[in-house]
Structures are given as structure tokens and as C-alpha cells.
Chains A and B, each alone.
Chain A
Amino acid sequence: MALLGQAAATIRVEALEKRYGARTVLRDLSFDVPAGATLVVTGPNGSGKTTLLRLLVGLAAPTRGSVAVAVDRSRLGFVGHESLLYTELTALENLDLYGRLYRVRERRERIGMLLERYGLWDARNDRVTSYSRGMTQRLALCRALLHDPALLVLDEPHASLDADGVGLLEQELAAGREGRTVVVATHDPGRLDALTTQRLLLGAR
């Protein structure tokens, strides 16, 4: 494992190890991510990228070592392998639920703005189950951005997005909110070269 461009910390990972039964997924991993940085995590299949991201957002607990994130849950946005959406609800209903849970101010305006920006306004009353994978990924991004997170953690966010969708995502990451820290796991780090401030390469096991 190699870490490039290390600086002071907003995320601090120390001697991190994660095992599932006898299988060690991550071993002795340490790095810091400063506020406002963009960390790109890359590595081959099975190298532990998804596991690391789940540890960073608190969906998994370390076997050894520690993960400290100086951002509370209300300011954390996460896009995972799955959409984290209710497939039998519409886009509006999904975002309204999460907007309520995150206490988003001017919730309806914010939801409308995101759905417009991501090209989903016309499909806002359709159930997610009728969406294509690309549309579902766009809606997953809307859900993660709904509360204007200070830390955005994205696991393969380009997956299933068409060229327009990729453009919107990269525009979002480039424009970002001031001081937003971004962690992206991807097989294609070249796409994010212009934004990357740190790169973490996880090795194959």
C-alpha cells in the first residue's frame, strides 16, 4: 500500500486492520486526509477499497487500529455500490425521506434543484425500480449531496453513468463546496487527476 501527498488531518487512519473471519482485507494502513483534500483510492478488485470506505463512514468497525473522522454523520455523504434507495418509492419520496432525516432546510427547493441538475425532474414521480442503472446512480448522488455534506465518500461513482452523468459528477466535484473533503474509490483514477490531492494505492492480496 502506498500513500502519496500526505498532509495534516481531517480523516486520520492509524494502523488499520480489517478481517472477516480468517480473511484479512486491510492490514496496517495509516494515512491522514486534510480538510478540503480529494483522496483517490485505487487498487485491483479485492484490494479492500469498498471495505476502507465503509470503515471511513462508520458502516464497519476496524478489527485493529483506528479511524477518526472529524465530521459527524449529519455532514457526511456516501455513495456506495448499492444505491441506498427504496426501489418502490419515487425519486421525490426517497429524497423527501432523507431530507427529513437530515433536517435539510428548504427541503423541497433543494430536492427540486438537485433533480433538475441531474436530469431527473421529469422522472421525479416514477418509482426507482423503473429507473435505468444510470438514472439510479444519478439519484444516489442526489441523495448523497442533498444535505450539502462536508465529507463526501464515493465508491465507484462513475459506474453506470453515461457521458453526461460523468460530466455532472466531475462538475460537482470540481465546484464542490468550499472546504469539502472528498474520498473516491475508483478503478480509473485518471478521470480525477485534475482534482486529486492525494492518492492511496491498495495492493492485491
Chain B
Amino acid sequence: MNGYLADVAALARKDLQLELRARDTLPAMLLFVLATLVVFHFALPASAGDEPAYGLLWVALVFTALLGLSRAWAPETAAGALDGLVLAPADRSAIWLGKTIATLAFLAAAEIVALPAFALLFAPLDGAALAGVALASLGLCAVGTLVSAMAAAARGREVILPLLFLPLAIPLVVGGVGAGISEEPGRFLAFLGLYDAVFAILSWAAFEYVVTE
């Protein structure tokens, strides 16, 4: 188990190192999420109230995640590094888990900027809404990392990734919005937790079949 976690840590650290150096993904995510919230601020009528704003927050977060996921496997496809990882004796699920952790770190960094901006421009976020964001982000990254690996190996990946990812993200949007606006956020949080557990296990188990012919 220690060896497995050491592999995951080495792989996640590598992704953070690459991002710190190339700055390909996180600045784009930050700019996108802020720009989207600003546009929504002017697009939403003042009389609309808070509830539609929570929906718009989730539109911004899902597409920010999609932006990050579209770049997630670029370092591995540039010079065949994914083959190098697949050949290494590490468990192949460690590749998925390391990438999921790195993607989640980028999304969390974008959210650290986006959520105060949302509170400033639209409405305050309570503890349940924040818990919803945290749980849904975990699900977005877990399932998104798997489908982005599938898309990375395909032609027309820019089209395939949203086609695969967005339908799988819809339950997370429902759960995230529900946790933000419902009188009883507990059942939405429980739903998000269940989604995360099921799809994380499925992605973890399926990854090996995605990266081998």
C-alpha cells in the first residue's frame, strides 16, 4: 500500500511540477471562471433572485473543469510518456489517481478564486453549498480524468471529451445546485457522496482498460 501511495504521490507531484513550469492549465481556468462569472453578472436580470445564480455558478464550474480536463493528458501525449507510465511496474490505477489529484488541485485553486467572486457578484454561499462544491468537484475530476484519458487517445478529442463528460456531469450539477438552494441539502450531499464513491471506484477499476489497446 505504501508503494502504491508513493507512486500516486510521485505522479501527482509530476503534474504539479509540470503546471508550475509550463503554466498551461491553471491560468486559463482562472481567467475563464472569472470572465464567465462577470459576464453572467451582467447577463442575469437584477430581479432574477439568487436561485438562478447558483445554476450559473455550476455552468461556470463545469466548463472550467472541462477546460482543465482537456489539457490533463497533454504532457503524456506529447512524446508518448503515457506508454512509459503504462510500462512501469506501478499499478495502472495509480496513474489515474495521481492525475485525478492533480486535476482536483487545479480545480480547487480555480474555485478558491471563483467562490469569493461569486459571493461578491451574486449571493453568499453557506456551508452546505461549499460542501456541495467540494463533493461535486471530486466527482467531476474522478470521472473527468477517466473520460479525458479515453478522449486523449482518440481523434477529434476536442469533440469527444465534452460528449462523454457533460452527460456524466449532469447529476453532479443537479446535486451541487440542490445543495446550494434546497431547504434540505443533506440528501443532495448524500447523493453527491454516493456518486463520488461509485464513479471513483468504477474509474479506478476501468482505467487499465482505457490505456491499453
Chain A positions near chain B (C-beta within 8 angstroms): 54, 57-61, 72-74, 76, 78, 80-89, 93, 97-98, 100-103, 127-128, 143
Please, which residues of chain B bring their CB within 8 A of the CB of A80? 80, 83
Mark out the residues of chain B between 11 and 27 whose CB falls within 8 Å of any chain A CB in the assembled complex.
11, 14, 17-18, 21-22
Please, which residues of chain B bring their CB within 8 A of the CB of A60? 212-213
B87 and A76 contacting across the interface, CB-CB below 8 Å? yes
A82 and B79 contacting across the interface, CB-CB below 8 Å? yes
Q: B6 at the A/B interface (Cβ < 8 Å)?
A: yes
B14 and A89 contacting across the interface, CB-CB below 8 Å? yes
CB distance from A150 to the nearest CB of B (A): 13
Known contacts A101-B89, A102-B88, A103-B3: does B83 contact A89 (CB below 8 Å)? no
Among A60, A72, A82, A143, which residue has the most Cβ atoms of chain B within 10 A?
A82
A143 and B84 contacting across the interface, CB-CB below 8 Å? yes
In the complex, the chain A residue whose C-beta lies closest to that of B14 is A97
Q: Of B21, B22, B81, B87, which contacts A59 at CB under 8 A?
A: B87
Q: B150 at the A/B interface (Cβ < 8 Å)?
A: no
Q: Of B7, B17, B78, B87, which contacts A100 at CB under 8 A?
A: B7
In the complex, the chain B residue whose C-beta lies closest to that of A100 is B10
Distance between Cα atoms of A83 and B78 in the complex (Å): 10
Q: Of A54, A78, A88, which contacts B75 at CB under 8 A?
A: A88
B89 and A87 contacting across the interface, CB-CB below 8 Å? no
Mark out the residues of chain B between 84 and 124 whose CB falls within 8 Å of any chain A CB in the assembled complex.
84-90
Known contacts A85-B79, A89-B17, A93-B17: does B90 contact A61 (CB below 8 Å)? no
Majority secondary structure of chain B interface residues (helix, strand, loop or mixed): helix
B86 and A87 contacting across the interface, CB-CB below 8 Å? no
Please, which residues of chain A bring their CB within 8 A of the CB of B81? 84-86
CB distance from B37 to the nearest CB of A (A): 30
CB distance from B208 to the nearest CB of A (A): 11
Closest 5 CB pairs of A and B: A82-B80, A84-B84, A74-B89, A101-B88, A60-B213
Q: Interface residues of B, CB < 8 Å — how many?
A: 25
In the complex, the chain A residue whose C-beta lies closest to that of B9 is A100
B89 and A86 contacting across the interface, CB-CB below 8 Å? no
Please, which residues of chain A bring their CB within 8 A of the CB of B18? 86, 88-89
CB distance from B91 to the nearest CB of A (A): 10
Majority secondary structure of chain A interface residues (helix, strand, loop or mixed): loop
Distance between Cα atoms of A129 and B21 in the complex (Å): 12
Distance between Cα atoms of A189 and B75 in the complex (Å): 34
Q: Of A84, A88, A101, which contacts B90 at CB under 8 A?
A: A101
Known contacts A86-B14, A88-B75: does B6 contact A102 (CB below 8 Å)? no
In the complex, the chain B residue whose C-beta lies closest to that of A61 is B213
A73 and B83 contacting across the interface, CB-CB below 8 Å? no
CB distance from B70 to the nearest CB of A (A): 17
Distance between Cα atoms of A61 and B87 in the complex (Å): 14
Q: Given A58-B87, A85-B81, A88-B21, 13 more contacts at CB 8 Å?
A: A59-B87, A61-B212, A61-B213, A78-B83, A88-B18, A89-B17, A89-B18, A89-B21, A100-B10, A101-B11, A101-B88, A101-B89, A143-B84
CB distance from B192 to the nearest CB of A (A): 33
A59 and B86 contacting across the interface, CB-CB below 8 Å? yes
A98 and B21 contacting across the interface, CB-CB below 8 Å? no
Please, which residues of chain B bring their CB within 8 A of the CB of A103? 3, 89
CB distance from B95 to the nearest CB of A (A): 10
Please, which residues of chain A bring their CB within 8 A of the CB of B7? 100-101
CB distance from B3 to the nearest CB of A (A): 7
Distance between Cα atoms of A81 and B79 in the complex (Å): 9
